[in-house]
Structure 1
Amino acid sequence: MTLQTIILAAGMGSRLGRALPKPLTELSDGRSIMQQQHDNIRAAFGSDVRITSVVGYRAESIVEAFPRVNYVHNERYDETNTSKSLLRGLAATGKSGVLWMNGDVVFDPRVLGRAIEFIDRDQSFVTVNTSKVSDEEVKYTISAEGFIKELSKTVVGGIGEAVGINYISSKDKAAFMRQLQRVDDQDYFERGLELAIAENGLLLEPMDISDLYAVEVDFAEDLERANLFV
């Protein structure tokens, strides 16, 4: 079965201070953030992988740069957060499991190689880094069984950070989408995962990539750090 992937690229990315959508930000190797993501996805899963980008702010710029992938438009990109963009993307991907990522993550190609084992057994997961825990990032805790228990920016006592690369299995997808529908417009998609854990029994594994690089580019200093790796 062809793997379904989603890149969330609808936001304005105003904190980075660029006119173009943040996924089109150029890296030191000459590729854009999104081009690096496309390259990593195809290197891990082959040329048949289905990539769907959720776009909003200056969508035409992204479509022009990557005309051969699928697009879903979030016309309310300036009023909604990643929960509603992801919901639109998931609705366009049928009943299969879906790998998705934030459109501003620069990451080691080996991350997706590590994900193959989870995807092959259709196991929902969140990619995590335990080497640092910053207040402004999405943090997590785990249950006694080792599954994700809490997942948000407000988690107290977090044991690591979520990286922004995740997978929802075919069996968990419908419940997750229902939770994304009910969360507030300004919620991040992590809120939908937390509700699915609490109310639907979602078993969400942490996939640790602390030994690999993954940088979510929000500010200029993040871009500088990402450029140290590519």
Structure 2
Amino acid sequence: MTHQIVILAAGMGSRLGRSLPKPLTALSDGRSIMRQQHDNIRAAFGDDARITTVVGYRAETIVEAFPDVDYVYNDRYDQTNTSKSLLRALKATGRAGVLWMNGDVVFDPRVLGRAVDLIEREQSFVTVNTAKVSDEEVKYTVDDRGLISALSKTVRGGIGEAVGINYIAAADKKTLIQQLGRVDDQDYFERGLEFAIIENGLRLQPLDISDLYAVEVDFAEDLERANQYV
């Protein structure tokens, strides 16, 4: 089975204060953020995994660093958010289910191993951390079936945070594409997922990885924390 993987790496990452795209930021072990993502992907799914990267800001630097993957270019990277980058990637990856991640997430290799069972069962999911619930992060709640019922930064009573590694099953892909097409340019992709839950009955399962590390690197202090793990 060939797994379809998407990395969202079009943004400028200005909050970290680096000139290069954030996924090329060096970690303390000498790898870039994106290199550790590639290593984790290959460890979980082997060399047959097909990686598609959405690029925008200084795209040539990422293409030069990783010439052997597929690319989708978001020429409106400075005017749109992750919803529109993911939309372009989903349209470019055929009918198969897609595992996608933000290009600035440093994470434990075991995260993807834990996700394999859900992927093989074609169950859409969002990885979550229930150990903390910060106001500025994307939060979620669940219904009485244990499926995600709300997913956004404005969720009240959130029981955990979304980590930034997710899967959309083949059967749910068309619905998510439609919803990502209607959300605002500045919306995160979670907005499309939330619409799909409310309007289309998308069954989205939380995958708890609270015991494993996953750090979304937005600021210098996030990078310091990520470097404690790698």
**TM-score, L = length of structure 2:** 1.00
Q: Which runs of 5+ in 2 are unaligned?
A: none
The equivalent of 1:91 in structure 2 is: 91
Partner of 1:194: 194
Cα shift at 1:227: 0.2
| Matched residue, 2:217 | 217
Task: Spell out the pairing of 1:104-143 with structure 2 (5 A cutoff).
Answer: 104-143=104-143
Equivalence map 1:154-165=2 (5 Å): 154-165=154-165
Identity %: 79
Structure 2 equivalent of residue 51 of structure 1: 51
Instruction: State the one-letter code of the partner of 2:147.
Output: F
- Length, aligned pairs only: 230
Structure 1 unmatched runs, 5+: none
Q: Which amino acid aligns with 2:9?
A: A
CA RMSD of aligned residues (A): 0.4
Q: Within the alignment, does 1:14 sit opposite 2:10 as a pair?
A: no
CA distance in 1, matches of 2:81, 2:28: 29
TM-score by length of 1: 1.00
Matching of residues 164-183 of structure 1 within 5 Å: 164-183=164-183
Pairwise CA distance, 1:11: 0.1
Structure 1 runs (4+) greater than 4 angstroms displaced: none
Q: Deviations over 1:152-208 (max 9, x none)?
A: 011111000000000000000000100000000000000000000001110000000
Q: CA deviation at 1:42?
A: 0.5
Partner of 2:206: 206
Could you tell me which residue of structure 1 aligns to residue 228 of structure 2? Answer: 228
Q: Measure the CA separation in 2 of the matches of 1:216 and 1:146.
A: 25
Instruction: Return the offset for 1:10.
Output: 0.1
SS of the residue corresponding to residue 126 of structure 2 reads strand
- Report the Cα distance in structure 1 between the residues aligned to 2:153 and 2:17, rounded to whole angstroms: 23
